[in-house]
Amino acid sequence: MESLEQIRDRLLARFPGASITLVTNPGPAAEHSLLLSAEHARKIAMFLRDDAALQLDYCSNATGIDWPDKEVVETKKVAVPDPAGGPDKVVEEKTTRLEPGYLESVYHLYSMALRHGPVVIRMRTVNRSNRVTLPSLTPVWRSCDFQEREIYDLYGIVFDGHPDLRRLLMWDEFKDHPMRKDYVEPDDFEWEPTPHGAVLDRAKTHYPAPEVKP
């Protein structure tokens, strides 16, 4: 199989307006991925499936990832002139910046005909609100049907063009998206004999902390 850079270049030549970025994977697995812009994603997916050299006819895995907002602290060294006339003082200035979070969907593609893979493609939403949309790839690979419903259920990404987008695992009346990192579980813990960590914090709200023997 051609390398991911070659695939990216071919895609850029074929779809001039699309933004396709190579996301490198620093781990030992070195499975790099292509970040697709949402508006061209389905056309690109069709191309990946039908291209004679790639024939990625099998979408094995589709999943979501939640990246919450995070605070980035940037330190900048600023030279402040000394009012006494000496040499400039170097002062570190810290600025905190809120990097907006996003939701991501990841697809692992293989070719059953040519027996190669994986090609990993990913798409990102603009923010983490409740009505964020990404194009559905179910019309391209039917195997995304249940998996995209699961992502919708657990992460809250609304897939545009999905034929039957309902919750897959939780009940229909359920309002939350439990796999998001900021999801708060309903508090129905009971007392545990040796609570620790988050369980202990929750137990404290129900019962006084157990007295530990000296």
CA 65 to chain CA mean position, Å: 3
The answer for residues whose C-beta is within 8 angstroms of residue 110's C-beta and 6 or more apart is 56, 58, 59, 60, 116, 117, 118, 119
Q: Between 69 and 93, whose beta carbon lies closer to another protein?
A: 69
Q: Which is nearer to another protein, 126 or 199 (CB)?
A: 199
Q: Which two tokens stand for residue 135?
A: 């194009």
Which of the 8 DSSP states describes residue 14?
H
**According to CB under 8 A, which one of 97, 115, 131, 196 is a site residue for another protein?**
115
Kindly tell me which of 78 and 183 has the beta carbon lying closer to another protein: 183
Q: Is 80 in the site for another protein (CB under 8 A)?
A: no
Give how many residues touch another protein by CB under 8 A.
64
Which two structure tokens, joined as six digits, stand for 41?
């994603």
Dihedral of the alpha carbons of 26, 63, 18, 68, in degrees to the nearest 10: -70
Among 19, 21, 25, 127, binds another protein (CB under 8 A): 25
Q: Find the shortest distance in angstroms from Cβ 172 to another protein.
A: 8
**114 binds another protein per the rule CB under 8 A:** no
User: What DSSP assignment string belongs to 127-158?
Assistant: --SSSEEEE--TTT-TTHHHHHHHHHHHH-EE
Interacting span for another protein (CB under 8 A) from 2-10, 78-86, 89-97, 184-192? 184-192
Please, what is the minimum distance in Å from the beta carbon of residue 41 to another protein?
A: 16
51 forms part of the interface with another protein (CB under 8 A): no
Contact 80, 70 (CB under 8 A): no
Residue with tokens 């545990």: 192
Interface with another protein (CB under 8 A): 25-31, 57-61, 63, 65, 106, 108, 112, 115, 118, 120, 138-147, 154, 162-164, 167-176, 178-179, 183, 185-186, 188-191, 193, 198-199, 206-208, 210-214
